[in-house]
Amino acid sequence: MISFSSLCRASKYGEIRMGHGPPEFRDITWFAMILSCSVGTGVFIYGLQEPLDYYTHSNKYRVATALKLLRKKGERPDTI
């Protein structure tokens, strides 16, 4: 997609303006809007997904993983 955009910009079609008149927003404003939307989407999705992930995954998996890590370190697993 980036290479296609760069190719279009370098060709004769790169000077075609979209819309009439000057742009409504500056480049830095567009960047801020896109960044805000990206962060908002991440907060919206992971704000719901992470608690559900903790709720749906059983504690047995976490305990088994902790025991496995302790055995690799050479510690006694009964000290948890």
Residues 51, 57, 60, 63: is their CA dihedral positive or negative? negative
The DSSP letter of residue 19 is S
pLDDT at 77 (0 to 100): 55
Please check whether residue 76 is in contact with residue 70, taking contact to mean a CB–CB distance below 8 angstroms: yes
| Residues 77, 68: Cα–Cα separation, whole Å | 8
- Render each residue's pLDDT in the chain as its tens digit; 80 residues: 889 888 888 888 878 877 888 888 888 999 999 999 999 988 888 888 887 877 777 666 677 777 777 777 766 656 55
The Cα-based distances of 42 to 14, 34, 37, 55 in angstroms read: 33, 12, 9, 20
pLDDT at 35 (0 to 100): 95
Count of the separate structural domains present in the chain: 1
**Residue-range definition of the domain harbouring residue 48:** 2-79
The CA angle 50-37-53, to the nearest 5 degrees, is 5
pLDDT at 28 (0 to 100): 94
